[in-house]
Amino acid sequence: MNLTAVTDETEVMTRHVADSLAVLPPLERAYTSRGGDIAGIRLIDVGSGAGLPGLILAVARPSWKFTLLESMRKRCTFLEHAVEVMELSNVDVVCDRAENVGQSNDFREAFDVAAARAVAELKILAEYCLPLVRVGGLFIAAKGHDPHEEIRSAKSAVRKLGASMLDLCNVESVGPHGQRTAVVYLKERATPKKYPRHPGTPSKTPL
């Protein structure tokens, strides 16, 4: 379905599957350090695309509940098919924009963890993800080898959305440009109701 430019099976396993799994250790370490029980985590994968990392994590953690959030119908069709073929009972696919879902009573501040990989710059991604995370939950972003400028640029936005950075760590994955990292944020207080803003606004006018 042309969802990824990487088509070689070995390369898919390293650049997509292994890279997706690499966020698990820092995620679980951060979650348990806050006294959380990792047995039944509710995780939303924002901008899931071809199911990365959400679909991979759902196989690795069958006791968790996953929501794959994707705005493009073509990708959602693939995700729904993949979930059916793989017989994954712990996965729901939601075809909508993060800005809409973040204002929905069914999803707002309903998740223990929001995760995202290769979706947008952190200050934009924070507005997509943090409104979906419960107070005391985590937002984890898979990033490249040097996210420090992104982190600095996102600091004000993250604060406005009710969170602060908890950890920045190297993960057990090396991309084409070097060591991959995971940025973990802790949701400390409720996100103001005005966030996320209308669809398209976060990317056009970042906080």
Instruction: Tell me what pLDDT residue 13 has.
Output: 66
- Could you tell me where the beta strands, DSSP code E, fall in 61-204? 65-70, 91-95, 111-117, 133-143, 163-175, 178-187
Residue 3 lies inside a defined structural domain of this protein: no
Instruction: Tell me what pLDDT residue 11 has.
Output: 66
Residue 1 lies inside a defined structural domain of this protein: no
User: CA 44 to CA 115: how far, in whole Å?
Assistant: 6
Q: What is the mean pLDDT of each run of 10 residues along the chain (207 residues)?
A: 70 75 94 89 96 95 98 96 96 98 98 91 97 98 92 97 95 76 97 98 97
Identify the domain containing residue 49 by its residue range. Answer: 9-204
Instruction: Tell me what pLDDT residue 17 has.
Output: 84
Residue 161 lies inside a defined structural domain of this protein: yes
> Which pTM value belongs to this model?
0.94
CATH number at residue 61: 3.40.50.150
Residue 4 lies inside a defined structural domain of this protein: no
User: CA 172 to CA 184: how far, in whole Å?
Assistant: 16
User: CA 150 to CA 5: how far, in whole Å?
Assistant: 25
* Structural domain total, the chain: 1
Residue 2 lies inside a defined structural domain of this protein: no
3 within 8 A of 50, measured Cβ to Cβ:
yes
191, two tokens: 């996100």
- The SS3 assignment for 110 reads coil
Instruction: Tell me what pLDDT residue 118 has.
Output: 74
Instruction: Tell me what pLDDT residue 181 has.
Output: 93
